Structure 1
């Protein structure tokens, strides 16, 4: 990074933008988020990428790495990591799709996740997100601590937490890439970002 400008890789494209570092921007502190622009530009995409990655994905990644070092894996850490992953999927999905659809999580998965996840997009909210958030345990699905691929066995969906985390990172990259040119996605993201920014106090 030089001269207050940042080189940002989004998908297959490289974007050079003014660095939010110069304005006291902290991704994990919404009161420092820049005001929403009139329209999506390279600098805003840089800001959003840092919010999604540094305050969500990187923090979950840190927890996963700590568990690997202290426990040699995610055994007996699955509920905590699974809950964090589903809440992060919910939060990230809401940026692009809450404004236009009640099935925002399914829409995000079907449009941005790797192919093997897309056919199950409509099932995630109820059997994973809602179950973990409201009941802590899973009753209609399964999670594994490793890198197992998503699988449907006699109607029971299962996947490894590490595999899902990798898929979520890929989905965020795809989402940010599409954001550069998708007008409807841009409008939804600005609406969501503006709404969140208005509530920030500290």
Structure 2
């Protein structure tokens, strides 16, 4: 099988043998193709191969998900991490649905830290600065905590992300979630606790 993979290279992804899931790990290891790509339909895999043959670019990017009950402080935490003023934080309103904050932080391996991305701060100040070096970046998804949004959140959840669970420490874990936050009697969400 390795000979066939070596011979076809990326074209193995569109070859009929890819339907045998038992060879996916071999393809992934030899060619560095993400596991998800091998599960895509034929058309999507053909498109992937077409773009990959044009050339690849290494992108160092992480995705984080901020989750928790409504009113727990998810957006406030994000604003604090962004270095927003107390005045800006006082204006924070409850997130409706989902807010995506793209590439707002740079990651620094050597110091195991993250900093608000300079270009993000410059954009907030209506300034643009060009940079030739592509930094390692972080995008954060800020989920609305009301139970009406829970079903659509599933679309965005992935194993290729890290999660920050924000909990209101003033609530007991066995305490039922406030009816204002989750008022759907008879649903899977009725009777939920903060735990």
Tell whether the structures are fold-level matches, with TM greater than 0.5.
no
Structure whose residues are more often helix by fraction: 1
* TM-score category of the 2 structures, normalised to the smaller one: under 0.3
Structure whose residues are more often strand by fraction: 2
Q: Give the number of the structure whose alpha-carbon radius of gyration is greater.
A: 2
* TM-score, with structure 2 as normaliser: 0.22
